[in-house]
Structure 1
Amino acid sequence: MIETFKEEIKQGLTATPKTLPSKYFYNKIGDALFVQIMNLPEYYLTRSEFDIFKNKTQQLIDAFGIDKDTHFELIELGAGDGTKTKELLKVLDTQNYRFDYMPIDISANALAQLKNNLAKELPNVSVKTQQGDYFNVLHSLKENNNPKVMLFLGSNIGNMDDEIATEFIYNLGTNLQKGDKLLLGADLIKSKEIVLPAYNDAQGITAKFNLNLLDRINTELNADFNTSQFKHQPEYNEAEGIAKSFIVSTSDQEVTVQQLNTTFHFKEGEKIHTEISRKYNDALIQQIIANTSFTLDTKIMDTNAYFADYILTRN
């Protein structure tokens, strides 16, 4: 893992313009900060999808089309703390569905906490955590013939550009069988007055979350980033529906990363692109899945129509 981290950090910081992969936001500190972000008043995304899972649970279950007498696997990509999914698990458990819940996450810490919490809150639910890369884990699960319902929540698909998103969903399809379902959470295109504060909260938690990536590089790769000389900067293009996050150097400076034997030069105002957060409408979703093995079955929205869970079926 550390070698991949080193390689990808070096690639990103030597690129023009500079980039850093958003997946590395999530270490123990990053996990805790993101939980705080999800509870911020400005961060509507989690509340919106939670609204669907809490108040439209039966619609979700009906859309899955699972027979109660058939054992199935409920697979969640990037499960995090499982707050939304617990609402679904409660109802599936109450209605005596037969299933294994399989959360997949790159963070062993997040999985351990989730498993412990579920053991207390929903002791009857079978939980089989899977730590690692999504596709490596999915490939290992492909061999069995159990029906599968896959969850990809939180509009995490929006962290990819459209071409990569299509490739990602296509690859998911190769690990599923005909009739399997994919629930794809997607943040819908909205005004900048709603979107931008979600990535730039008044308490500065999102800024800490982004800058923690520099702290992680300092700790794991013996670097000397001075985080007080960098700032978090979100941007949103409402016309195309794309939000972007940057870490910006506030001065001309040099940073040495000892494990890479490299010194990186930053100009005042120079941006490091860390994340994109794509917003969607039905046409964009159809465009992204057009060359995959999925068809769109159902769209379930929250009360404010800020967010949608799209239910896709593997052909």
Structure 2
Amino acid sequence: MARKTKNKNAGNPGQNASSNTNPVLICGIDQNKASIDLLFYLPRSLIDEVVNYVKEIRRTRVLGELYTIFTWPYGDNNAFIYLKVPLPEPLNKRYKRWRKVITSVVTTQLIKLGRRLRNTKNTPLIIGIERLTKIHMERKIDFLRYRQIYNLLAKPTTHINTIKIPIPIEEDGKIKYIMYDIEIRKENHDYYYIAETNPRWTSSLCGLDLWLHGKTTPATKLTHRLVRCGIDEVIDRDFNAAMVIAYITGLAYLAIKRYIANPARGGEGPWAPSPGPTHPGLGRRMMKAGNNNVPDVAVRYTASAA
């Protein structure tokens, strides 16, 4: 019989959600022609782990001195860490080879971070990545480079299921919802999980609004890869996209955390730091939006594994 965990924030992401059991590390990855952008959302107790991840990359000497990293608090117990890894240009043979090395190091060290967290702290790593198969030409991303990141992450994984996540957008005083199809995959040794999302609007929504208010507004594109958010802040476009991907990944985690805690019995998942303030209407019922026949997460995994 599955163990029931009482929590006032059950199924409802809130900034003050309890984290009295194992925490979780959420990572959103945005890929573009000029850089790889990673945004980590984590409890402050795991900051040293992510800092060590950056140090491991630096030891390989692929970062140089051009990378960007900064940390800022979120709530009482949580924080963000943002890492921007620039990719060399122009795209001649030598620079393509160097881009491949950078991409490989960043990804493999992330896998090692997930393995270390699982083995030493029993902490799951949830990685959010865009599904860029059909729009890599528009993003000016070399398809093989995109597949390199995806293949390193997804090759040793098992598909769990595809879920739908609603994101509310406020425009002209009205609220509408964008549905994101999220494909959830599990690494075969439980070192990490992948939330692969469609890239629709990830660069055109205000990531700051999402994390602060649980709903968002369209972001205005400016020159030099900058956007103006609905709260009148001008931020880096790639940083904004990484924030949106990380937020969606956090909501996907809420949908599968019962499975993560106990895939055999479908037990309650760890009540980890949740991905943002209360999301309007996003309870257990909203997790199944667009598909009223979706069974329990544990049942879905058993069916797909069979």
Place the TM-score, normalised by the shorter chain, in its bin. Answer: under 0.3
Q: Which has the higher helix share?
A: 1
Does 1 or 2 have the higher relative contact order (CA < 8 Å, sep 6+)?
2
Q: Which has the larger radius of gyration?
A: 1
Q: TM (normalized to structure 1)?
A: 0.26
